[in-house]
Structure 1
Amino acid sequence: MSYVLEAAWQWFWSSSTLTRLAVVDFQVQWGLWAVASLMKTEKFYDLAGSATYILLAYLNYKWNGTGHPRQSIQTGCITIWAFRLGMFLFTRVMKSGHDRRFKEALQQPSLLWVFWTLQGIWVLVTLLPSLLVVLSPRQRPIGTRDYVGWGIWTMGFLVEVVADYQKTAFRNNPANKDKFINSGLWSLSRHPNYFGEVLLWFGLYISASSTFSGWEYLTILCPLMDYLLITKISGIPMLETYGIKKWGSSPQYQAYIKNTPALVPFIGSVST
């Protein structure tokens, strides 16, 4: 047994950084899946996802960082975003007592495993451009592309924070019980929090691309996949279905759907 463990450890450290990070990622997801399955709980799912972002970004910087400002800022942006979002989502699920996404999965360990595995994939995919910028030996001086990318990240981060705050404040007001929010940023987009998230990941791709060459530019597919997942699979479609089921008979909600863009403010209404 000790020989097997030693061989596995040597393989781990001889592997590429991305392989090692993938191993850590899925060890976390599958280990916590086992705990969640036994406890039949989804309450630490989002918190675990955010913690994995921070862990992988930290390990990548620890193993490969040279102290260049670009590496530090890129890693810092990820850490700030993940910590804020993780704590927000964990606080929300603890207050509500459940997450309706997992209603069926909690009764089916195999389906719950799919959720945790998809989270592991999502973490790696969205992180890839930022992992590559830390790995890159081509650390040029900070330039316009870096500032543009970090500026877009800042805008997206602030939009997400403000949107989450506005919706939380709306829900905490007893007068708004069973009502939908259509004020503040939510009057400009039906899902401004998701708009902010999509924006910040595209920003991090732009800043990371200042070190890219060749195939690395293809990691534009990473924020694109994040956008597609949010708009076509797990984010907006699920919430839109829930909203129509709950308020679909309301003329006010129908008008909101018709006149308010699904994601990008001021750019048409996108029905889902």
Structure 2
Amino acid sequence: MGTTTSAVLAKSALWDFGIQWGMWAISSALQTERFYDATGSGTFIYLALQSYQWGSSVKTKRQKVQTSLVVIWALRLGLFLMSRIFADGVDKRFNHVRDNPKVFLIYWTVQGVWIFLTLLPTLILNSEKNDVQVGTRDYIGWGLWGLGMFLEVVADRQKSAFKADPSNEGKFINSGLWSVSRHPNYLGEILVWSGLYLSASSVFSGWQHVGVLSPLFVYFLLTRVSGIPLLERGGMKRWGSDPNYLEYIKNVPVLFPSLW
């Protein structure tokens, strides 16, 4: 492992967990989760920009594009999540947690792990001195990022508009992108980080391909841990006796739309 890469990864990890644990202390004292999502998005932006500065003095086009795409993604997600929590008042994920410092610390630590592993390809890329000409792999990767962002933005807007309509009170969304995937926003998230790994991997060699942990971890987190499983259980609990909902989950794929 090169010295520069080691230093960038080490400093990124220290700043990442330092920020999460510092904000945990403040949030735990105030018994609030209002800073959680903003801190996560802000840390993504900070580490993307700092790793860009910590790396080689000669910046490549791939590094500039990669860093910019991470910042754009983080700004969009952060603003969306902050507006949602200020509108709702509370985040149900933290019920029975915000007043338990030890359990609350686990949430903040998991966020630190999520940030570091998800950013891994970007951190490695920004510390890499070697460069190759931007090519097909990069354009495919950036295209996947664009498609992923499109799915995230459109799905979130469709769901927000659906929930804002009083006539939909107590109903589940099954229109727009939600008519072909039960979790189109999560599909977008997976595509975003798969695309960024693909482009960054253009200059990876040997151990650096550990960066593939980024899309794999995002996929695992969303499909096995905190994303889809929680929402699916909540959906069954709320609408499990509704024939229309049972028909919906029978015919609409969980994540990837059917191609036939």
Normalising by structure 2, we get a TM-score of 0.95
SS at match of 1:106: coil
Gaps of 5+ in 2: none
1-structure distance, mates of 2:126, 2:213:
19
Counterpart residue number, 1:235:
227
2-structure distance, mates of 1:76, 1:207:
13
1-structure distance, mates of 2:75, 2:236:
32
Normalising by structure 1, we get a TM-score of 0.91
Once the two structures are TM-superposed, the CA of residue 222 in structure 1 deviates from its matched residue by: 2.1
Structure possessing the higher relative contact order (Cα contacts under 8 Å, 6 or more residues apart): 2
- Given candidates 100, 110, 113, the residue that maps to 2:102 is 110
Counterpart residue number, 1:52:
43
In 2 relative to 1, CA 218–18 (structure 1 residues): closer, same or farther, beyond 3 Å?
Answer: closer
Gaps of 5+ in 1: 1-12
1-structure distance, mates of 2:210, 2:81:
31
* 1:207 aligns to 2:215 (yes or no): no
Aligned-pair Cα RMSD in Å: 1.4
2-structure distance, mates of 1:187, 1:202:
24
Deviations 1:9-55 (A, max 9, x none): xxxx9x71111111111111001001111111112211110110000
Once the two structures are TM-superposed, the CA of residue 152 in structure 1 deviates from its matched residue by: 0.5
- Given candidates 144, 147, 156, the residue that maps to 1:152 is 144
- Given candidates 255, 258, 262, the residue that maps to 2:254 is 262
2-structure distance, mates of 1:204, 1:119:
20
1:11-22 → structure 2 map (5 Å cutoff): 16-22=7-13
Deviations 1:104-141 (A, max 9, x none): 21121100000000000100001001111111111111
1:1-272 → structure 2 map (5 Å cutoff): 16-65=7-56, 66-266=58-258
Q: Quick check: 229-238 or 210-219, which moved more?
A: 210-219
In 2 relative to 1, CA 63–166 (structure 1 residues): closer, same or farther, beyond 3 Å?
Answer: same
Q: Is the 8 A contact 1:229 1:235 kept in 2?
A: yes
2-structure distance, mates of 1:163, 1:47:
21
The runs of at least 4 consecutive aligned structure 1 residues that moved more than 4 Å come to none
2-structure distance, mates of 1:260, 1:112:
35
